[in-house]
Amino acid sequence: MTAPSTYGLSTQARNLQWLLTDLVEEVPGVNSVAVVSSDGLLLLSSDPGAESSGGPRTKGPRGASADLATIVSGLGSLTTGAAALMDGGTVKQTMVAMEHGSVFVMAISDGSLLGVHAAPDCDMGVVAYHMALFVGRAGHVLTPEVRSELRQSMEKTP
């Protein structure tokens, strides 16, 4: 995995990028990770320019990360609406199991979402546990200032 450059970022933003990189590298079966703001913008990505299979992506503005961010944002919106219709309260996490992989979405305290695309043979409990650790560590750091800084850095990423 090639992490985006952290040059010029604040300590908080660099720590968030480190946590995200650690999630991808340390949890077996995790292909890619994205943090999306409450308004659907990609804030952090494990690999903004690569397909989860390692090859270059030809469609979409940022490849696999933009696709994952769109999916995470859409699932977050859909499940929040469903929870409201069912008087279910706040959505804490969503998981979609597919034949060739899984997508996990977990709420971060500020309304942002953490999304993970994982292999079909991943240990879902381990992935969810590490996502919860990320949310616990990142939730209080993701201030409006840091979100703005991360948005700007993602816009600069080629």
Can you give the pLDDT at residue 90?
92
Can you give the pLDDT at residue 53?
39
Higher-confidence position of 17 and 85 = 85
Indicate the average pLDDT of the chain. 83
Can you give the pLDDT at residue 94?
95
pLDDT digits (tens, 9 = 90+) for 129-139: 999 999 998 88
Can you give the pLDDT at residue 27?
95
- pTM of the predicted model as reported, rounded to 2 decimal places: 0.82
| DSSP state letter for 43 | E
Can you give the pLDDT at residue 55?
42
Would the pLDDT of 79 be above 80?
yes
pLDDT digits (tens, 9 = 90+) for 89-98: 999 999 999 9
Rg value, the chain, Cα: 15
124-138 helix and 11-26 helix, angle to the nearest 10 degrees: 170
| DSSP state letter for 38 | T
- What is the CB neighbour count within 10 angstroms for residue 81? 11
Would the pLDDT of 60 be above 50?
no
Can you give the pLDDT at residue 56?
42
Instruction: Give the residue-averaged pLDDT of 57-66.
Output: 52
Instruction: Give the residue-averaged pLDDT of 124-149.
Output: 88
Please give the share of the chain, as a percent, with pLDDT higher than 70.
83
- Best CA proximity match to 30, nearest among 110, 114, 136, 101: 101
Instruction: Give the residue-averaged pLDDT of 102-116.
Output: 91
